[in-house]
């Protein structure tokens, strides 16, 4: 299994975005990948509060540290591309990691 960093929107309609991100994780798993989506893990109750800018930044930075081990960044575009996703795409490109754009709809 290859390690895959998942990029989906989080901010905005959080409930819809989390449901979508879960579908994207499933899509990745069914492709035989080992996906990771920091925005689904670090925003769990009691971990970090995404509405607090310093905590949001901390979560994003921690996720990007993990991603140095990823073999691919998968960007799921059905709900658009957010500023956080653009940051993740830029980090992947700067690291020389392939970026693949996907749709599940």
- Return the pLDDT at 50: 85
What is the spatial order of strands in the sheet that 34-36 belongs to?
Answer: 34-36, 3-7, 72-76, 99-102
Kindly report, residue by residue over 5-61, the tens digit of the pLDDT: 999 998 889 999 999 999 999 999 999 999 999 888 898 899 999 889 999 889 888
Domains (range + CATH), the chain: 3-102 (3.40.50.10400)
105 has a pLDDT exceeding 90: no
What is residue 67's DSSP assignment?
A: G
The answer on pLDDT for 77 being more than 90 is yes
Cβ atoms of 57 and 76 within 8 Å: the answer is no
Burial of 103 (0-12, 13-18, 19+ CB in 10 A): exposed
- pLDDT tens digits along 81-90: 999 899 889 9
pLDDT at 60: 83
Is residue 66 over pLDDT 90? no
pLDDT of residue 35: 97
């Amino acid at each position: 299994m290859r390690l895959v960093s998942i990029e989906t929107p989080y901010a905005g309609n959080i409930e819809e975005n989390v449901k979508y991100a879960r579908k994207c994780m499933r899509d990745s798993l069914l492709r035989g990948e080992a996906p990771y989506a920091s925005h689904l893990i670090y925003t769990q109750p009691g971990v970090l509060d995404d509405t607090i800018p310093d905590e949001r930044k901390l979560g994003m930075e921690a996720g990007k540290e993990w991603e140095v081990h990823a073999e691919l960044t998968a960007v799921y575009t059905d709900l658009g591309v957010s500023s956080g996703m653009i940051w993740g795409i830029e980090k992947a490109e700067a690291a020389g990691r392939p970026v693949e754009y996907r749709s599940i709809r």
